[in-house]
Amino acid sequence: MNNRYVPFGLLLIASWGVMTFTHEAGHIVGGWACGGTLQEARILPWELPYSIFDPDPQPLVTLWCGPILGAMVPIVMAAVVRRQWAWLIAHFCPLANGSYLAIAWLTGDRLLDTPKLLASGTHPATIAAYCSLTIGFGYIGFRRQCIRCLAPSPTVVKQSCGKPAT
């Protein structure tokens, strides 16, 4: 087995963990910032993370902070760290957050964020715009980082997945 696949697989696992943590932490930060009382929260990446606020004075803020902070915090962190592996994780997060909202819209499961956003008054065009931007930009960046990490040249792999971006 080629040695570039193991680090890549580990980066995908890390990406999932970072995405679920920052998304759910965003809901928690948004709820607390609006004076909500956190009743229960699960933030483990191998379970379906969730947080329940009661009361939640500003449910739209609480709901939107999850996908917004879940997409933005990893990008800011990658800009600070300035490593290619951090950019792979950072690009995965908006792609995953946008995909999650799009899929939740299609399934209509009342426990997922998109039906809650719609029920709380978010216009469908706002969700569509968020999904389009995050999926579009996330896909382009994530694909570019995947190609760099999986490049056949060992020199490219070292430069792309382990050393600072140039």
* Low-confidence residues in the chain, pLDDT < 50: 157, 166
Q: Residue 59 falls within a domain, yes or no?
A: yes
Q: Residue 166 falls within a domain, yes or no?
A: no
For residue 140, which of 111, 80, 98 has the smallest C-alpha distance?
98
- Number of separate domains in the chain: 1
Dihedral sign for Cα 110, 112, 118, 120, please: positive
> Which residues are CB-neighbours of 81 under 8 A, at least 6 positions away?
none
Confidence at residue 48, expressed as pLDDT on a 0 to 100 scale: 84
Distance from C-alpha of 100 to C-alpha of 80, rounded to nearest angstrom: 26
Q: Residue 108 falls within a domain, yes or no?
A: yes
* pLDDT, tens only, 30-72: 999 999 999 999 998 788 899 999 999 999 999 999 999 999 9
Distance from C-alpha of 33 to C-alpha of 10, rounded to nearest angstrom: 34
Confidence at residue 47, expressed as pLDDT on a 0 to 100 scale: 85
Distance from C-alpha of 153 to C-alpha of 155, rounded to nearest angstrom: 5
Q: If you average pLDDT over every residue of the chain, what do you get?
A: 92
In degrees and rounded to multiples of 5, residue 51 shows phi and psi of -140, 145
Q: Are 53 and 66 in contact (CB under 8 A)?
A: no
Domain residues for 139? 5-161
Q: Are 149 and 157 in contact (CB under 8 A)?
A: yes
Q: Residue 67 falls within a domain, yes or no?
A: yes
Q: Tokens for 52?
A: 């329940």
In 10 A of CB 132, how many CB atoms? 12
Distance from C-alpha of 91 to C-alpha of 85, rounded to nearest angstrom: 10
**pTM, rounded to two decimals:** 0.89
